Every structure is written in structure tokens, then in C-alpha cells.
Amino acid sequence: MPITEILTRNANLYGEETSLVEINPQIKEVKANWKDYELVETKPENRYRREMTWREFDNKANRLANFLLGRGLAKGHKVGILLMNCMEWLPIYFGVLKTGALAVPLNYRYTEDEIKYCLDLAECDVLIFGPEFIERVAAIKDKIPDVKMKLFLGVGRPAFAESYYALTACCSSTAPKITLTDDDDAAIYFSSGTTGFPKAILHSHRALMFSCEVEMNHHKQTRNDNFLCIPPLYHTGAKMHWFGSFLAGSKTVLLRGVKPEWIFKAVSEEQITIVWLLVPWAQDILDAIERCEIRTADYKLDQWRLMHIGAQPVPPSLIKRWKQYFPNHEYDTNYGLSESIGPGCVHLGIENIHKVGAIGKAGYGWEVQIVDEKGHPVKQGDVGELCVKGAGVMKCYYRNPEATAEILKNGWLYTGDMARMDEDGFIYLVDRKKDLIITGGENIYPVQIEDFLRTHDAIKDVAVIGLPDQRLGEIVAAIIELKPGFPLSEADIERYCNGLPRYKRPRKIIFEKVPRNPTGKIEKPKLREKYCGGSLVEAQTESH
């Protein structure tokens, strides 16, 4: 069943109930809910809180679909979406899908060159963009001739674009009569390449629908749940976790900000029951509590039932700290890639908190195996490359058969992540295959050192990379971000690292902020470029 049918069902069954809420905590004045904002020339971003019913959601998607169809858009065309998180984002996404065209979400951090590259690679016919991107789009507008239509969502429309609000407001809200099948192409996502240019990942309607089913199976969403969505919607992780709430027909709150007090305020005011956090945000919350900057007693948090984390390895020490303050929270972690339609191909499970540190077992409807360089399964306990198989695996890297052949083999998706399996069948990530450090002939996996260093009370974040060394080939370097007010010296770190085997101890210690991308992954290529000119490894594309 195409995923668009779920929206139609929700509108029919729960039409007057709230589907989406957008909260912009940077707006201090709380104003009344604002309806029909597309009919007036004003700034929706100046509203602290907006909400939308399921019927409004469906109607807005239908209006956009009918407008695009009226302009000649057809099955197989592509529509780029370049927006910050906002309430219009998801209706636009579903409006595109209802035409039979493909939605192409774009990373809001892309430079103008990356935007052009992705629009060209995906062969986009339309671009919908917001005010934050006027300068970047203006710089390439004459270099993207295939993008025939540029729709601007916001105030201050540039002359080279048309008004999304004005053009769609009066279009029919009746669903277009476009036949969709599970096998039809639905969306192109881009790998979150932290250097170089990303790859285009093609997914079908079947994969999107499968993601809904996986997420609901893992986290048991009901119509009584309220989901807080903070990560960027262009990424599969945020959207595919939302898919469980979408399938349940329950409310979702889009929070435009990550400060701990903003998260707690949203949880309290909107009666949030499920929150998906990235590691840095969970760390910030705990740090704020311990510094007495926020008091849990000041907020209504009893209804919050599930905290889950994904997108990167989760330090066990972080979850142990979390459970000290929130002992009644269910905890879960999911592992996934954009190539496997986001999170869930490996799943810990809320019943397995005793296995904190593992990413889990094969998720609902998924198969997993760990293989050696020749593609043969390794022995239990040995390290190999993690491979997954299921209905959520991408169709291909769009217009890149060579890269597709490297990662898709006999139906298996080779993730590029090194992992091991314990005696109970739980999988532990060891590191990215390309992040491996070889020093004096010994293989070192940076995640193991990072997890060790994060157990120090003064360390907020850490990234471990290899630096070139004439004698050993590479040495271990630790980039360490300290918590505010916790001075620490290199000698302190060296003493602490006596708890590591000698060959794993960092030979170089650098005190600096650890760079992370919007989905929470450490941008190690940036660190390599800064400290060793990027010469150790090829430019890599991390796709989680």
C-alpha cells in the first residue's frame, strides 16, 4: 500500500484532531494558533506555536499535488525540498508523493555547489525552498536550467521564484486521481556525506511503508502517544521515526531548537510521551540538570515513557547516567542507514536495556549477517562488516551503478560498519570500516577509545582519529571537548588512559570542540583534513 493512503485514512478517521504542532521557542510571545497562514502576506516563522489537523494536513498536500499536476508535473518527475523544519514540510512531502513524482529532500547545510550538484544528480524539475536559502539558490539559479519551477515558501520572495502560498491556496483540496503502486519510485535521499559530494539513494513506496511498520512494531505507538521531533526532516532518521506516529494517527510536535529547557518545556506543555534524541542533546540535558540550570520538578514529565537514541554509537555511560535521573523511562536504540530507509534494521528493544552498548538484533522484517572481506560469515565474536537485508533496502544509488554494485550484493546491503555479535546474538558496533586506525600493525577501532574517554566526568565529547606517523604508520589522536568549568590537562588524560592497553592510548591529545553534523555524527573527515590534510583515507560518505 502506498504511504499516501495512510494520510487519506487519517484525514477520514481523525480529521479534526491535531496532526502536527510546530513550536519555535525563540519567539518569546506566545500567540494564538494561526490558521490559513498561506492566504496572507505575513511571516509564519514569527509564531511561537502553530498547529494543524489531519484534515488540514491532507488538504494542503492535495492542493500542492493538484497545482503541480496542473503545471505538467507527472510520475517520475522530481521535486527538491530545501526547507528548515517547519509545519509545511510534511504536507509538501506528501503533496509531491500524491502526484506520483519523487520527493527529494535536501540537507539545509548544503553549500550552493552541493545544492546544484544534488539537484543535477537527482534530475529535479522543481525546487521548493525557504527564506534561509535565498542567497544560495540565487547564486546557482542560472546554472540549474532543468529546474523549470522554483517555488518560494515564506515572505520576501525573490524575483526569480514564484510564491508557494499564493499558487497553492486556491487549488482543489480533493485528492488527485493518480494510481500509485508499492513498486513505484517515491523519494531520493542523499547520504550524509561529511566530505565530498553525497550519493543519491532511491527508495520505493514499499520501502517507505515498510519503515512505518518497522517503527510501530518496535515502539508500539498508539493514538495516545505524542512524539517530539527535533532532528532535521530532510534526513531519513527523523522522518522514519515519525512514521510510527503517522501510522498510529497520533500527534507530533516539531521543535525548532535543541536547548534542554526548550525540550523540557515542549515535553511538559504538549504532554509528549516519546522523544528521540541525539547523543549530544541527551548529554546537554544531563549536564544542565547536574549544573542545576533546569529542575525536572518544574516540568510535567510523568507521561514521558520512551527515550530513544540513534544515528551514532551510544556510550553505555550516557544511558546509565540517564537512568539515574529518569529511572522509569523505557530506553531503546536503533541502527540504520539512509540506504536502508532510516532506523530499525538493527534494533535493541525496550526489553533489553541490560544490553546497553549493543545496537541490538535484526529489526522487525530484517535479516543481518557479519562477514569477512570475502563475504563469508565470521565466527561469533569476531569482527566483520555488518550486512542487512529487507524490504527497506534502497533500489540503487541513482545514476551510479558502480557505487550500487559495491554496496548491494545478492540482495544484501553492505553497510561499511564493522561489528561483532555476542553469544546471545546481540550486535555491537566496532567502528566505520574506513575509520580503522592501523598503528604498528595493530588494528584500532576509534569507537572503543571514544567510549572509554567518555566515562571521564570532565569530558563532554570526544573524537578519535589516526594521524600519519613515519615509524608506526598511524598514531591515535584524541580530540576532546571538555564540559564547562572542568579544566583538564594532557597529563590528566594520559593518566586516565592508563586504563587502556598501551597500543590504544592516544599519542596526541587536542582540546577542541568536536564537530558534528545535523544528525549527530562526528565529522571526522573535517578533523582529518585539519590535522593531517585528509591524507589517511579516501573522502568518505557516511550514510547513517
Three-state SS string over 469-502 comes to ECCCEEEEEEEEEECCCCCCCHHHHHHHHHHCCH
Q: How much is the pLDDT for 499? A: 86
306-316 mean pLDDT: 80
Q: Give a yes or no: residue 319 inside a domain.
A: no
Which residue range forms the structural domain that includes residue 113? 31-203
pLDDT bucket at 44, cuts 50 / 70 / 90:
low
Residue 35 has pLDDT above 60, yes or no: no
Helix (H) / strand (E) element for 227: namely strand 226-229
Q: Is residue 171 part of a domain?
A: yes
Q: Does 40 have pLDDT greater than 50?
A: no
Instruction: Indicate the pLDDT class of residue 364, thresholds 50, 70 and 90.
Output: very high
pLDDT (mean) for 490-496: 93
* Per-residue confidence (pLDDT) for residue 522, from 0 to 100: 81
Residue found under cell 539545509 = 108
Domain-located, residue 228: no
What are the residues whose beta carbons fall under 8 Å from the beta carbon of 30, sequence distance 6 or more?
48, 49
Answer whether 0.75 is exceeded by the pTM: yes
pLDDT of residue 302: 96
Taking the C-alpha atoms of residue 236 and residue 147, their distance in angstroms, rounded to an integer, is 24
State which of 77-86, 308-317, 535-544 shows the largest mean pLDDT: 77-86
Which amino acid, residue 211?
S
Query: Regarding predicted confidence, which is higher, 457 or 389?
Result: 389
Of 105-109, 191-195, 358-362, least confident by mean pLDDT is 191-195
Higher pLDDT, 356 or 151: 151
Which residue did the predictor score with more confidence, 314 or 50?
50
pLDDT at position 509? 94
Percent of the chain beyond pLDDT 90? 69
Which range has the worst mean pLDDT, 14-18, 252-256, 274-278, 297-301? Answer: 274-278
Summarize the confidence of residues 17-29 as an average pLDDT: 86
Specify if 243 maps to a domain: no
Mean pLDDT within 49-53:
95
When mean pLDDT is compared across 389-393, 458-462, 528-532, the lowest value belongs to 528-532
Per-state percent for the chain, helix, strand, coil, to nearest 5: 35, 25, 40
What is the Cα–Cα distance from 319 to 448, expressed in whole angstroms? 16
Could you tell me the CATH number of the domain that includes residue 454?
3.30.300.30
pLDDT of residue 525: 76
pLDDT at 357 over 90: no
Domain boundary among 147, 171, 203: 203
Instruction: Please indicate, yes or no, if residue 42 is contained in any of the structural domains.
Output: yes
Span 211-268, pLDDT tens digits: 999 999 999 999 999 999 998 999 888 889 999 999 999 999 999 999 999 999 999 9
Nearest-angstrom CA–CA distance, 480 and 492: 12
Predicted confidence band of residue 421 (pLDDT cuts 50, 70, 90): very high
Cα separation, 79 vs 105, in Å, equals 8
What is the reported pLDDT for 532? 76
Model pLDDT, residue 196? 54
Binned at pLDDT 50, 70 and 90, residue 487 comes out as: confident
Q: Which of 3-7, 47-51, 118-122, 379-383 has the lowest mean pLDDT?
A: 47-51
Q: Which residue shows C-alpha cell 557516511?
A: 542
Q: Evaluate whether residue 347 is within a structural domain.
A: no
**CA angle (96, 100, 105) in 5-degree steps:** 40
93-125 residue pLDDT tens: 999 999 999 999 998 988 898 899 999 999 999
Q: What is the pLDDT of residue 471?
A: 67
Among 180-189, 239-248, 482-491, whose mean pLDDT is lowest? 482-491
pLDDT at 27: 75
Residue 461 lies in a domain: yes
Residue 390 CA to residue 388 CA, distance in Å, equals: 7
* CA angle centred on 255, ends 249 and 259, rounded to 5°: 145
Residue 478 sits at the vertex; the CA angle it makes with 192 and 292, to the nearest 5 degrees, is 85
CATH of the domain at 39: 3.40.50.12780
| pLDDT value for 453 | 92
Q: What is the pLDDT of residue 441?
A: 63
At 512 the pLDDT is: 92
Helix (H, G, I), strand (E, B) or coil at 44: helix
d(CA 97, CA 95): 5
What's residue 526's pLDDT?
A: 82
For the ranges 29-38, 315-324, 374-383, 534-543, the lowest mean pLDDT is seen at 534-543
Q: Please give the tally of structural domains in the chain.
A: 2
Instruction: Extract the C-alpha cell encoding 330.
Output: 523505557
Q: Categorize the per-residue pLDDT at 457 as very low, low, confident or very high, splitting at 50, 70 and 90.
A: confident
> Residue 496 burial by CB count (10 A; 0-12/13-18/19+): exposed, middle or buried?
middle
Evaluate if residue 158 carries a pLDDT over 80: yes
pLDDT at 446 over 70: yes
Q: Are 234 and 80 in contact (CB under 8 A)?
A: no
What does the block give as the cell for 518?
545535523
What pLDDT was estimated at residue 42? Answer: 46
Alpha-carbon Rg for the chain in angstroms: 23
Q: Which of 146, 177, 203 is the last residue of a domain?
A: 203
Residue 412 inside a domain? The answer is: no
Strand pairing report for 508-511 and 473-482:
parallel
Q: Which of 203, 236, 253 is the last residue of a domain?
A: 203
| pLDDT reported for residue 413 | 97
Residue 402 neighbours by CB distance under 10 Å: 7
Higher pLDDT, 143 or 34: 143
pLDDT at position 290: 93
Reported confidence tier of residue 29, pLDDT bands at 50, 70, 90: very low
